[in-house]
Amino acid sequence: MGSHGPAYYKRYPEEFEVFKPVCKTNQLNECTNKEINNAYDNTILYTDYFLSKVIELLKRNSKESDTAMYYVSDHGESLGEGGLYLHGMPYFMAPDEQIEVPAFMWFDDSFSSLLDIEFIRKNAALLTPMITCSILY
């Protein structure tokens, strides 16, 4: 479930609870902003770990096939900015935190040789509006 709230504390294993204290309820009004942000940050830490494992798997298989990964969030998340939390605002009035989403691309050497990586990097915002994109190869 990635970083979907409000129960952020349920989205990562205990060993990934690095940022503390954390909000341990889905009733965000019972938690401090720091606790909410820490729990959310732990979900991001775990997502980074998970994606690193996916990349390791792809690397191990890159001799048999060209491998690539494109990871993109389905929405952004408000963490108290302007008094808003989560991601349920209608698009026309949603703040940037809920609309702008991260994206991450990874290509093996063979696959990246087929692409103009610099063009993609320079034009990522034009190719995918409202997505902040990182490209690794």
Q: What is the pLDDT along the chain (137 residues), one digit of tens a residue?
A: 889 999 999 999 999 999 999 999 999 999 999 999 999 999 999 999 999 999 999 999 999 988 999 998 888 999 999 999 999 899 899 999 998 888 888 889 888 888 887 887 777 766 555 555 555 55
Side-chain-side CA neighbours of 56 within 13 Å: the count stands at 6
Q: Which residues contact 70 (CB under 8 A, 6 or more apart)?
A: 103, 104, 105
- Range 8-136 classified under CATH 3.30.750.80: no
User: What distances in angstroms separate CA 48 from CA 2, 18, 83, one per listed residue?
Assistant: 10, 13, 27
Tens of pLDDT along 49-60? 999 999 999 999
Q: What pLDDT is recorded for position 129?
A: 54
Question: How big is the chain, counted in residues?
Answer: 137
**C-alpha–C-alpha distance, residues 54 and 33, integer Å:** 32
Q: What is the pTM of this model?
A: 0.85
